Amino acid sequence: MAYFLKPQYHFSPMIGWLNDPNGLIEFKEQYHLFYQFNPNSPNWGKMHWGHAVSKDLFHWMHLPVALYPEKSLSEKDYSGIFSGSAIEKDEQLVLMYTQYFDPDIFNNRFKEEQCIAFSKDGVNFEKHKGNPVIAKPPNQLFHDYRDPKIFKVSSNEYYCVIGAGENGIGKVLLYTSKDLYNWHFENVLCEFNPDCFGPVIECPDFFQLNGKWVILFSAGFTEKGKRKNYYAIGDFIGNKFLPDCIESLDLANDLYATQTFQDKNNRRIAIGWLHTPDRNNYSVDEGWAGIMSIPKELSIKDNRLIQQPVKEFQKLIMEKTDNDKTLSSDRTLDISSLQNLIYLSIQNLSEGFQIVFVNKKDELILDKSMDSFEITELRNGTIEFKDAYKLENTLDKLDVYMDKTSIEIFFNNGEKVASFRTYPRDNYKKLIVNPFPKKSFSIFQVQPAFNCLL
Ligand code: FRU
């Protein structure tokens, strides 16, 4: 099997299906990435926790599955290990996750329990014998009660936020604990308008950043059927989160379930799942699906979240293409040697411009007009995907990261981001930039990092 669509500097599963990032942590000088994983098929199914480690957030080494689901009671039993998070305690790596019981098989119990597992070496994990540590939600009306995100407040005080729905409203629940075994429900931390965010909140993450409190959350059951990742910035007063603003984390619709962690250098790093929710996912034919976003460092400026690829990315940039030599007479750039591993940076942008990636059969068009930015993917001249975003501020800088089947566009140094998947059938050969901003235009090949051993 040839893996033409596999990313080379984004994390993806060796085989099978990947969704949410789980348990992100720096433990014993390694970054750990766990993830929702179905090793048995390129489709969602019985969930395991896949596991990988890295020293630089790009060169990942696959490790054995960290958490296996219990044995199935029937072929249709989708009970498994749902999303969660990690924390270090007494030199152990502790995972907190949701044990999901398929309601079609287990119809007389709560379908979700919160559990923990331990590891001394960060490779082999043992589920706690006294699981679950939280057996059920605070009352019977809560449903879709999952995705615990833990954080430490002081040496013996832990908080945990859990996503849920109640009475048609998506809510985030707040728990506290002194030892990770005994948890106390404090209150509903916050809830979100169901007309915009639907009746369930998934994968909440709650942290302090630059003196404010930030919540990231995913809304998966909105009326329009879109699954989208959001953030809110605000204050945390009397165990309640009071948002000043709620914004999309990403302009496009392919990013979901972003989780963050703080590394030993006090950086708040975010990784999300990049999928293809509403169109054909061609990588299924290669036996795999789902990739992680580029790891991004978060900060706050003017009460808005700024996202920028972590600085380790700089080490992957290979020699700059000499634009003067590769620019042909029709002002197109020959990019055939870049193999769709591309970092493109443009400054001093004119009000309107177009960037077109071309191979024999496909085109990817990024089109900026007055205040909107349009993305079109063409397969044999037919529109495969089209999306448009309104830009509030003048666009001064554009950074584009392409890795085989993903494009992440950072506007004005991460003021806004649009991340999406595309499935070109060949490497792009030509790049047309119109008008061509000669002075402030750089294009680089990105060095492959995928699956390297440490
Ligand atoms: C989000 C999600 C989580 C759940 C997991 C199951 O994508 O639905 O709420 O824990 O995926 O794979």
**Along the 454 residues of the chain, how does pLDDT read in single tens digits?**
678 999 999 999 999 999 999 999 999 999 999 999 999 999 999 999 999 999 999 999 999 999 999 998 888 899 999 999 999 999 999 999 999 999 999 988 889 999 999 999 999 999 999 999 999 999 999 999 999 999 999 888 999 999 999 999 999 999 999 999 999 999 999 999 999 999 999 999 999 999 999 999 999 887 666 789 999 999 999 999 999 999 999 999 999 999 999 999 999 999 999 999 988 999 999 999 999 999 999 999 999 999 999 999 999 998 766 666 666 667 789 999 999 999 999 987 777 889 999 999 999 999 999 889 999 999 999 999 999 999 888 899 999 999 999 999 999 999 999 999 999 999 999 999 888 776 788 999 999 986 544 3
Q: Is 363 in the pocket of ligand 1 (CB under 6 A)?
A: no
What strand order describes the sheet that includes 382-390?
332-334, 430-434, 353-358, 362-368, 372-379, 382-390
Residue 98 CA, closest ligand 1 atom number: 10
The 3-state DSSP class for residue 194 equals helix
Q: Is 202 in the pocket of ligand 1 (CB under 6 A)?
A: yes
Cα→Cα distances 25→55, 130, 209, 402, Å = 12, 24, 17, 26
Neighbours of 367 (CB within 10 A): 16
Non-local (6+) Cβ contacts of 183 within 8 A are 114, 133, 134, 160, 175, 176, 177
Residue 256 CA, closest ligand 1 atom number: 7
- Closest residue by Cα to atom 6, ligand 1, is 82
* Residue of 147, 253, 254 with the most ligand 1 atoms within 8 Å of its CB, for mutation: 147
In whole angstroms, give the CA distance from residue 376 to residue 354.
11
Q: How many CA atoms lie within 13 A of 175 on its CB side?
A: 27
Q: Is 83 in the pocket of ligand 1 (CB under 6 A)?
A: yes
Q: Is 46 in the pocket of ligand 1 (CB under 6 A)?
A: no
Q: Is 38 in the pocket of ligand 1 (CB under 6 A)?
A: no
Neighbours of 280 (CB within 10 A): 12
CA of 219 to the centre of ligand 1 (A): 11
Q: Is 250 a catalytic residue?
A: no
**What is the total residue count of the chain?**
454
**Alpha helices (H) along 344-418:** none
Q: Is 112 in the pocket of ligand 1 (CB under 6 A)?
A: no
Can you give the C-alpha Rg of the chain in angstroms?
22
Non-local (6+) Cβ contacts of 314 within 8 A are none
Domains and CATH numbers, the chain: 16-309 (2.115.10.20), 318-446 (2.60.120.560)
Residue 84 CA, closest ligand 1 atom number: 10
CA of 20 to the centre of ligand 1 (A): 7
- Closest residue by Cα to atom 8, ligand 1, is 202
Residue of 106, 105, 86 lying closest to 97 (CA atoms): 86
CA of 44 to the centre of ligand 1 (A): 10
